[in-house]
Amino acid sequence: MKNKLLLPLLGAIALFATPALAQDTPTSKPQATAPYNTSIGFRASVAGPSGLTPEIRIKHFIRPQSALELQVGQWNYQGAYQASLHYLWQPQLLTSSRLRPYAGLGIGAVGSTKDRFGERQVMETHAVLLGSVGVEYAFRKLPLAVSLDYRYVVTGFNTHSFDAVNGSRASTFGIGLKYTLRK
């Protein structure tokens, strides 16, 4: 008797449940897209005795959540300059498509001149590995994006005078403003 009731019951469940499973279900994650294609702007940070250290940044999205960023500018003290290329991973949050955190690694070159006993020395160049984490907000109506980030020096290569620069002093908090070029 139980078998006679079980078979029609399973058939009825299969009949009504199959169309429900075949329907498209909404996804909880929106389609991730970059809010802009390319941006150019500047970053300012306060670092040590030199005060405000400016730099220029150019960022280009190579995928919806990945970008390359070129950074060029003054570095940590008067007479030191850096140029670096960073790979940034910038995922889209579920709650906002405009506010996006990012993290990245970059390789760069740091050039510095020193004053020893009142004489200017030749420029020394060092290779560095940099890391950065931050958050960026792209405005909906304006072609601008603002960012707040922390850049740190992972390690320096060929840096016999890198200890004088002090890698921990080279790590900075910065604020940036970028002009965005839409797709």
Q: Per-residue pLDDT tens for 1-27?
A: 555 655 565 565 655 555 544 444 444
pTM: 0.72
CATH-assigned architecture of domain 38-181: Beta Barrel (2.40)
Q: What is the pLDDT of residue 98?
A: 86
Alpha helices for the chain (secondary structure H): 2-22, 162-165, 167-170
In this prediction, residue 104 has a pLDDT band, given cuts at 50, 70 and 90, of very high
> Phi, psi (5° rounding) for residue 11?
-65, -40
> Phi, psi (5° rounding) for residue 8?
-65, -30
pLDDT in tens, 128-148: 889 999 999 999 889 999 999
61 in Cβ contact with 102 (< 8 Å):
no
**Whole-number Å distance between alpha carbons of 88 and 18:** 43
Domain boundaries, the chain: 38-181
Cα 166 to Cα 94, 123, 128, 155, distances in angstroms: 39, 17, 12, 11
Q: Is the predicted pLDDT of residue 53 greater than 60, yes or no?
A: yes
> Looking at the DSSP assignment, which residues form a beta bridge with residue 119?
116
| Segment (H or E) for 85 | strand 80-89
Closest CA to 157 of 165, 149, 145: 165
